[in-house]
Amino acid sequence: MSILVNKNSKIIVQGITGSEGGFHAAQCLEYGHNVVGGVTPGKGGQTALEGAVPVFNSCAEARRATGANVSLIFVPPPFAADAIMEAAAAGIELIVCITEGIPIAQMVEVKAFVQQTGSRFIGPNCPGILTPDEAKVGIMPGFIAQKGRVGVISKSGTLTYEAVHQLCAEGLGQSTCIGIGGDPIIGTSMKELLELFEADSETDAVVMIGEIGGSMEIEAAQFAKDHMSKPVIGFIAGQTAPPGRRMGHAGAIVSGADESAAAKKKLMAECGIHVVESPADIGRTVVKVCA
């Protein structure tokens, strides 16, 4: 079992006829063989990926024709918000948006709309989801992961890859790896994903990588204290950043004492999370707490 995506997922790619969308759609198709269609308005009836995938004019049309339940979005920023809402309106159960640079005001509207539809949204500005040996929905390199029983949640794409590397070096595979994005407004929180991993019978532990700014890690830690029976290993990036400094992600800005790396690490430890000081310690810490 995995959370969110598996070998039975049926994926459509919005923006599949663009260079980025086409390239990564091909990688996803090669990895899981479950990309069933693409969406580009005005290009319905054509094919993509050397004729392997049909292209539709809309998500609704693609869903009716293919039974798609996952949409992967590579639409440019000016049109990405509408693309997300189109997928949700079509009844797509899981929407993953890789696009970065979507205005915050638009994301506020998107989040409210998606919540009304019942779809789950991951992103934006994220690397997506990887369930080793089953499905790849995004830009994570599939070859770095191996199937196993450790879940990974991360705000940072590169630190997702580092955590997976550390786990594999210790002989530990992953159940599902999820990059949630670091923008101020994102679709799915760490707390929500912890809840899914807690319910997953094939996940034994969870690695959670956060960063300075915002309260998401605090909410997740409090949830873990009250509801998680599985060990959670945590890391906070940006430990040396001065107050007010932006650290790459738009959401990674310290605006108060409770959002600093030190404060988050302290609260996480108090909630029973095994906090590591360096990404290099993730793998051996998981081994230690799961022994």
Active site residues: 249
With beta carbons less than 8 A apart as the criterion, state whether 156 and 216 touch.
Answer: no
Angle between helices 282-290 and 157-169 (to 10 degrees): 50
Phi-psi region of 271 (alpha: psi -120 to 50; beta: other; left: phi over 0): alpha
Residues in the chain: 291
**How many whole angstroms separate alpha carbon 112 and alpha carbon 185?**
11
Burial zone of 157 (CB within 10 Å; 0-12 exposed, 13-18 middle, 19+ buried): buried
**How many whole angstroms separate alpha carbon 62 and alpha carbon 87?**
10
Neighbouring-strand partners of residue 47? 54
Angle between helices 261-270 and 216-227 (to 10 degrees): 10
